[in-house]
């Protein structure tokens, strides 16, 4: 059972190609999943690879290194659109789990209860995957193909997660529903990134639709924000109220005002 913790990414890629190892980071998903504690495979520890840890601002957005822990997320100075991810980070197990567990480990485990996934999807996250033969970028929505299924070849590892630049005016939130208040695996959770003026001007289709992602049972789904309100789905209402509080009512009232300005009461536009 060779174990290696390289510093150089090329060394890691070579080990991936030659030994077909299991990649590990914080091991907070890997260890509990072991059958009777037996390790019968080669291990590649990615936590010491240069450039794999930390959050940086790049020319096009934000880069979350492939060995960045939840504690790193909590401590990073990030715009308000990342508040949902920070709230999720606070909810991943205990402080000890947050110190060890990584964002990449959370998405690669592809559990329906992975708290990091809805906020990352709402931020339009992209996953950078690397191997000896090069690097490729895949949208997180495509990377997670199903429960415990990801778009990753045996010779590849996740190098980083990229978030496109986002307005400082964008707000975000995260709410999780579990069987108790703290230290609990999610039954359902929701992450949303919303620009307040997008709420107001949605009726004119001027600005992008707010991103609301609900995760539960099977796979996270991106929800059509306004369809969800129209359908008055119970969980959607609960989640939106938890996330947006007063801003939800303000957004709805403003949207109604605009509708009343354009369509006088009682007048039918036909169609
Ligand atoms: C007590 C406890 C409580 C928990 N509570 C929560 C919770 O509330 N919410 C929640 O979402 N999760 C929770 N978890 C699960 C876990 O802590 C998180 O999913 C964590 O983010 C996993 O990260 P890790 O670095 O420990 O992953 P690891 O266990 O090291 O790896 C997990 C998977 O990802 C793969 N992997 C890791 N890094 C890479 C990489 N760079 N490239 C390719 N593949 C990679 C591994 O091969 C493995 O399949 C809990 C776990 C425990 C033990």
Phi, psi of 20 (to 5 degrees): 45, 55
Residues 240-261 have a mean pLDDT of 55
Cβ–ligand 1 distance for 158 under 6 Å, the answer yes
Q: How many Å apart are CA 29 and CA 104, to the nearest integer?
A: 11
Residue 161 has pLDDT above 70, yes or no: yes
- Residue with the smallest CA separation from ligand 1 atom 48 is 109
Residue 185: per-residue pLDDT: 73
Instruction: Tell me the CA–centroid distance for residue 155 and ligand 1, in Å.
Output: 20
* pLDDT higher at 183 or 261: 183
* Predicted TM-score (pTM) of this structure: 0.83
Instruction: Tell me the CA–centroid distance for residue 68 and ligand 1, in Å.
Output: 11
Residue 237: per-residue pLDDT: 57
Instruction: Tell me the CA–centroid distance for residue 29 and ligand 1, in Å.
Output: 4
Mean of all residue pLDDT scores within the chain: 80
Kindly list the strands in the beta sheet with 22-24, ordered across the sheet, starting from the edge strand earlier in the chain. Answer: 3-4, 43-45, 22-24
| E strand segments, the chain | 3-4, 22-24, 43-45, 55-57, 61-65, 126-131, 134-139, 144-146, 149-150, 157-164, 170-177, 188-195, 211-216, 221-224
Residue 208 has pLDDT above 50, yes or no: no
Residue 193: per-residue pLDDT: 78
How would you classify the pairing of strands 211-216 and 221-224?
antiparallel
Cβ–ligand 1 distance for 114 under 6 Å, the answer yes
Give me the CATH code for the 53-256 domain, please.
3.30.465.10
Cβ–ligand 1 distance for 24 under 6 Å, the answer yes
Cβ–ligand 1 distance for 47 under 6 Å, the answer no
Percentage of the chain beyond pLDDT 70 is 68
Residue 50 has pLDDT above 90, yes or no: yes
Residues 197-216 have a mean pLDDT of 51
Q: Cα(first)–Cα(last) distance of the chain, in Å?
A: 69
Instruction: Tell me the CA–centroid distance for residue 92 and ligand 1, in Å.
Output: 10
Instruction: Tell me the CA–centroid distance for residue 133 and ligand 1, in Å.
Output: 26
Residue 146: per-residue pLDDT: 83
- Residue with the smallest CA separation from ligand 1 atom 32 is 105
Residue 212 has pLDDT above 70, yes or no: no
Instruction: Tell me the CA–centroid distance for residue 101 and ligand 1, in Å.
Output: 5
- Residue with the smallest CA separation from ligand 1 atom 38 is 105
Residues 211-217 have a mean pLDDT of 59
């Amino acid at each position: 059972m060779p174990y290696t913790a390289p510093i150089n990414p090329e060394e890691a890629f070579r080990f991936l190609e030659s030994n077909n190892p299991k990649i590990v980071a914080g091991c907070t998903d890997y260890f509990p999943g072991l059958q009777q504690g037996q390790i019968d495979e080669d291990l590649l520890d990615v936590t010491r690879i240069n450039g794999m840890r930390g959050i940086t601002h790049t020319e096009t957005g934000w880069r979350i290194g492939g060995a960045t822990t939840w504690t790193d997320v909590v401590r990073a100075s990030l715009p308000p659109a990342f508040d949902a991810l920070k709230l999720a980070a606070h909810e991943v197990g205990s402080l000890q789990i947050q110190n060890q567990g990584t964002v990449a480990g959370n998405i690669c485990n592809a559990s329906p209860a992975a708290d990091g996934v809805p906020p990352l999807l709402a931020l339009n996250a992209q996953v950078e995957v690397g191997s000896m033969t090069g690097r490729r970028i895949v949208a997180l929505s495509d990377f997670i193909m199903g429960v415990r299924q990801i778009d990753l070849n045996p010779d590849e590892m996740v190098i980083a997660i990229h978030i496109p630049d986002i307005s400082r005016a964008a707000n975000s939130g995260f709410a999780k529903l579990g069987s108790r208040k703290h230290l609990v695996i999610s039954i359902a959770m929701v992450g949303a990134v919303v620009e307040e003026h997008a709420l107001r001007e949605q009726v004119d289709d001027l600005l992008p639709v707010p991103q609301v992602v609900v995760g539960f049972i099977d796979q996270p789904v991106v929800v059509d924000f306004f369809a969800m309100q129209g359908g008055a789905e119970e969980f959607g209402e609960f989640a939106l109220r938890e996330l947006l509080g007063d801003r939800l009512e303000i957004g709805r009232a403003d949207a109604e005002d605009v509708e009343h300005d354009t369509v006088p009461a009682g007048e039918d536009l036909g169609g």
